[in-house]
Amino acid sequence: MKKSSLWIVVLFVALLSIPLYYTAASQDKSKDIPLASTTQNGVSVHLINYRLQAPTTKVFSCLDLPDNQDWIVYASLEFGSTLLNADTMAVVNPKDPETYQSSYRCYEFGFTTPIDPSTQDVKFFIEKISTSLPEAIDQEMCDLARTEIQSTQPDISFDCVIDPNGVAFKNTSTSGTISDEDLFQLINNALTETVDGPWVLTLRP
């Protein structure tokens, strides 16, 4: 198997804020009045509001997260036999430092299909939440990730090459049965935290 390197390149992207119109999501838990809430595995999800504007559906939701790390929320709309993944996810008040100091965080999710809950049952569905990959990965983190992976898959091995451009993961597995893409997914899972749901809330007309 050809040994190759996977490079992580950290890109900084300036996010443009999206008008929130009549949503009540404010990052202030005392002011947000949810339409519905649910709790699973210690994480609470609050449905604050939704808005239909052809050709999109906007859903505004606030979460009581485990901590104030950068969490990625895997959200969908479920209607009939269709599960429509969110096309966009934006943090409410992203420029406010207090937003990232708190574990209570609000998000706007965008879906490319206008869904009318008055004509069909529509559910807001969050499969899981995960922390993003650390921006700076050092040798100790690589070693811990390797140990975790090898505790269940001892044939999997990789080396970490760290330089000013980022981190390269060199596949040194002896079995020859894992691709670079699958190896990266294992490393990603070992370097991030995940809380599984599901959290399911119904959009009421």
pLDDT tens digit at each of 205 positions of the chain = 444 444 443 322 222 223 333 344 455 655 668 999 999 999 999 999 998 877 889 999 999 999 999 999 999 999 888 889 999 999 998 888 888 899 999 999 999 887 777 777 889 999 999 999 888 888 999 999 999 999 998 888 888 888 887 788 888 887 667 888 898 899 999 999 999 999 999 988 7
The CA distance from 106 to 204, in Å, is 20
22: in domain:
no
14: in domain:
no
43 in Cβ contact with 196 (< 8 Å):
no
Residue listed under structure tokens 């007309």: 205
Q: Structurally, how many domains does the chain consist of?
A: 2
The CA distance from 74 to 67, in Å, is 17
Give residue 155's domain range. Answer: 5-9+134-191
pTM exceeding 0.85:
no
* 42 and 128, same domain (yes or no): yes
CA dihedral 130, 148, 163, 193 (to 10 degrees): 10
* 138 and 171, same domain (yes or no): yes
* 92 and 183, same domain (yes or no): no
54: in domain:
yes
* 65 and 148, same domain (yes or no): no
* 94 and 125, same domain (yes or no): yes
